[in-house]
Structure 1
Amino acid sequence: MSANSADTPALLEVVLVKSGRTKIRYPAELLADDGTRVTVRAPWAGDGVRDFGFVRFEPGDVFTEYYWRDRWYAVKEVRDVRGVRKGWYCDITRPATVSGGELVVEDLDLDLWRSADGTAVLRLDEDEFAASGLATTDPQAAAAAQDALDTLERLALEGGFEALLAQ
């Protein structure tokens, strides 16, 4: 299914759920949906500037976001207001669902950052993941999340996400 299909809206509401509650929701332009991967584009949806130390997300930044219905992650290419790539922010999530104009993903706390030049590949929030208790409450999901993080780290270290996103 492409973004131009009659049964697919041109806009989706991206809904990021964490610990059973909506963490953030924002409108995004639907670029493509092939039935497995959904690609959307949206401006930075946060309030003001968010400085992580290794990257700043700020008004004017544009995120091209790739979600899969069969994978435990989302990959988000981040560009500044001039269109210069800052890098990729990857969320470890349960597989995405799309229904009623919403793209819903459950954030599992783990994240990965790869700078545009590839010099920084950072595993993030592993302490939050451990504290979430997922390994006890849902060991299969915890293992899938760890595997997803390992896969993304390997791809990031081997040259990036272009081959993954070109599929």
Structure 2
Amino acid sequence: MVDPVIHAAEIARFYAQVVRGPEPDDCWIFTGPIGGDGYGRFWIRREAGKRIMLRSNRYALAVSLKGAPLEPWVYGLHGCDVPICVRCSTADERGIKHLTEGTQRENMERMGRMGRGGGRRPIQRGRAGLLERRERSVALRDAVRGGWDAEAVRAALAGTAHPTLW
């Protein structure tokens, strides 16, 4: 749970590591540490100073709930296919734009509807697929660290052989 009053400094520290795209449909890119799986990492302190690492997308979802708990079985669904995007949105008539709450089932159904897997290049399992996703996330983070640069963002998103979460 992230309480907007109690954790105000923590929330400010989180958003200090986020670069927001200027256009209405742009991602909000987390510029902090990135794990081996390509997702952002954000550290918080809870329970007598105990340090806890969270994925940046889960922290953003928790902030969006304004003090309500984010249950462990809730998944972050990325409509933009950018693991380091932390822009929370709702589903609209075109589907999920960025990051919203969902279940594992919804995640898998969406994967099927979006044509991920199946007729495309097989999903890479293991280290090779994770390394590609991480490389893409690092390139994207590096592209925005000095501020939003639309051309550098496009190049980072197109710069790997495995351009989506799947």
TM over 0.5: no
Q: What TM-score do you get using the length of structure 2 for normalisation? A: 0.29
More contact order relative to length (CA 8 Å, sep ≥ 6): 2
Considering fraction of residues, name the structure with more helix: 2
The alignment's TM-score, normalised by the length of structure 1, stands at 0.29
Higher strand share: 1
